[in-house]
Amino acid sequence: MFSRYLSVLFMLFICIGLAAQLPPAAEQDSIGTDYSPLSDIAVSQLHEMLAEAHLNPEALSFEKDWDLSTRQKSAWHLNALQKPLSGIAQVGDLRRVCALKNDAAIAEMANHFASIAWGSPDAIEVYAEAYFAYLSLFDAKVKKPKDLFKFWETVLQSLSGEMAALRSELGNARMDSLTAFYYNAFAESEDADKYKLLLNQKGLPNPDNLNTDALEGIFADINYEFLYLSALKYYAASQVMKQGAAKFLYTNRKPLVKRSKHGVMIIGTVVADTYDVCEIKALANSPLCLLIDPAGNDIYEMNLNTGKDNYSYLLIDYSGDDTYRNTQPGGMFSSIAGHGISYDIKGDDTYLTDDFAFSSLLGLNLHVDYAGSDIYRSGLFSQGAAMQGISMLVDYAGNDTYTATTMAQGMGSVRGVGALLDYSGADVYQLGGKYTHAPLMPDDYRSMGQGMGFGMRPDFAGGLGLLYDKTGNDKYLGGVYAQGVGYWYATGVLIDEAGNDVYNAVYYPQGSGIHLACGFLYDGSGNDTYYSRNGPGQGAGHDWGVGALIDNSGNDAYSIHGGNGLGLSNSVGIFVDKQGDDRYERNEAQNYGNGALARSTGSIGLFLDMGGKDSYPDSTKADNKTWQKGSYGIGRDIDLNAALTVAAEEATGEDPLVAADAPIAEVFAAASEWEVGSAVKRVKEARKVLAARSEEALPYILDNKLNSKSGLDYRALEAFLKDVPAFKADLFGLVEDADSLKAKTAMSLIAGVGDSTLIVPIRKHLAAKRYTTACISLLGSIKSTESIRVLSSYANHPSERYRYIAARSLLQIGSEEAISALKTMNQDESFLVQALIRNIPEKKP
């Protein structure tokens, strides 16, 4: 059993080694285009409209990055800002990633969000391999409920090195300073006394003493590799625990409590339990790291967070109408320098929390509610809010109500992705009620959410805020800044795939990019109503911004004072309604395609209605008509009857098999799909076809797929090598290719089948100081004396990274000679190396 476990971990280590070598990508382009918000016909129409104003398509991509002092800009956001149509395509990527409703899909989402926030390479294999490793361990070790404690201790110990390294690289003092800045940056002035008290209670320094350069220095030392790889592994472990713990019959009459060095672990009863410091005394002076409740209408009033004293928590509630209640900022569903995951499987639940609930700083915060009509009520920076982390609030079913004050419901700030994802039900999203937006709108509430990216002007760029709702007749109620809005080098996205929806806001709403930022709203189907008392909005950009609203189908009504394809202050605004009998209500000079002159140059505003019998407030706009307004504002109503139709229902049965004579590119695409659920048979059959047509497949693969960054492509290549051994000779011809990704992929594939002759090119690369991390990792697959000798040469290398990877490769080889060489490193100062050596498994007699 252990050898299987170690082999799985070795493949995980190979993935880590390769990930460390790969450069960050500006965007993930491996996702299919079926979910693109704009069809080719729509794009062609926009190009024709630009031509009406004597502009070419590249005109949209004029320079918008004008504050060169702003730091922490990401390639993903800059791509959307500089190239608006490419930014809309990135919204299509988000639609594709968020579409599926299952546990594996959450891993895919987290993987994609990491690429957006941190430029992280594809590492989905880390989740898959860790899942099977933990599953094997669970099956071997857990036979009764109490065994769950020991299993979880083993999981936490396996991840403690990465999380400790993340914190140690920053140091306690700088981590405290960053935490204080985090609370202070989002707290409102009305709450100054509240947060002064909070910082004192937590022993945090005065954030006013942290200047921009010092903060940038902290940001620069954050190890995102440790962050996102440990997050994927922790999520995999949580899935194993959720599935495995559900199989037991729980007969304990009172909660089982165990203290561990990682925190308090609890297994509840099948009746109504209350979890607080009064009922569970151990929680008075130790954090919670595990809570499993099998049933009952429970009350949760303890702290559920990560911070100074703990780097993780996991809560699983299997059944019951539960109440989660905590009145402290960050007291519940909060991750700081750690990972917090919670699952509520069944019941109509109530979540009553304060500020910083369902939020993350330097970690993953994930909550999944699987069923029931739920109530969520929180304060600011909540319900899917993140900075330098990933926060995901996921609700799969029920008519849910979400209420928060501000900066919530999909809020992403500096290098963060905050997402709220709801998959069914007639839901209500409401923001406001506490903080007004003086002096601009002193009598209206500032909402800043429902898919909002927020940067800290002028110092730091923002992140991605995403609100995704798949089905249901939903209501979105906001104030100033709401419903797909970006502010200061950030991106906000609201995606609603289906339902008769109502969007209501006050200012800067519904697909608005404000001050060098992007805002996108996409609605897939339904008879929708869009209202805002003021603009710019509904597809508007202001001050070097980009805003877009795209409605795919339905008979819709639009009302706004300044919008529907409006470019202000050298910005781009795009509005597209693809089909339906629509009603445009406001007779406003800046509506329906308008570009305003500013700074002695222009803006671009595009309005396109592609079909239906539409109603306009004046005769200058009408069906089958084109008009121009402002500097470069173009409007067009044309009946094309070719709108995109997106199926909202989930796939049923097995996916269709690829034809045996299909183009080889189509066959490979099927072979590289995610091999789960309804796609299992399709993927297996496609791989058989690929092997049967190997003479045709080989040149295609060599020309197109060895430099792919897609983890799914890599799996297909592994299967092809197994079925077509002759492929290995071609791979050897690429191990020194000028394309670094080709070379590393070729070596990794060869290593997967354990060919000892791979050591020759590996030594060449190491001598030239190329691909060092990947090569040291790959040596673990070569069980030879020469491999051990090369690895031993790194035992005293000044780089902790190299020493640690060499140590784990020696452990992977596992021979007496390799273990002996590994033990010579027992004086290494690195915690990672020390922890590895101290946990060398005992050989069974």
Does a cis peptide bond (omega within 30 degrees of 0) precede residue 439? yes
Tokens (6 digits) for 138: 């669970």
Q: Residue 358 gets which letter from DSSP?
A: S
Q: Report the candidate in 733, 836, 745, 811 with the shortest Cα–Cα distance to residue 3.
A: 811
What pLDDT score does 653 carry?
57
What pLDDT score does 3 carry?
36
Does a cis peptide bond (omega within 30 degrees of 0) precede residue 536? yes
Three-state DSSP state, 610: coil
Q: Which amino acid is at 710?
A: S
CA-CA distance, 330 to 230, in Å (whole number)? Answer: 22
What pLDDT score does 649 carry?
38
For residue 458, what are the CA distances in angstroms to 280, 411, 447, 492?
Answer: 47, 19, 21, 18
CA-CA distance, 123 to 107, in Å (whole number)? Answer: 10
What pLDDT score does 25 carry?
32
Q: Report the candidate in 790, 705, 718, 722 with the shortest Cα–Cα distance to residue 756.
A: 790
Write out pLDDT tens, residues 380-389. Answer: 999 999 999 9
What pLDDT score does 646 carry?
39
Tokens (6 digits) for 118: 């941190």
In degrees to the nearest 10, what's the CA dihedral of 479, 480, 482, 485? 170
Tokens (6 digits) for 550: 């795209």
Q: For the chain, list residues with pLDDT below 50.
A: 1-33, 642-652
Helical (H) or strand (E) element with 213:
helix 212-220
Q: Residue 291 gets which letter from DSSP?
A: E
Would you say the pTM of this structure is higher than 0.85? no
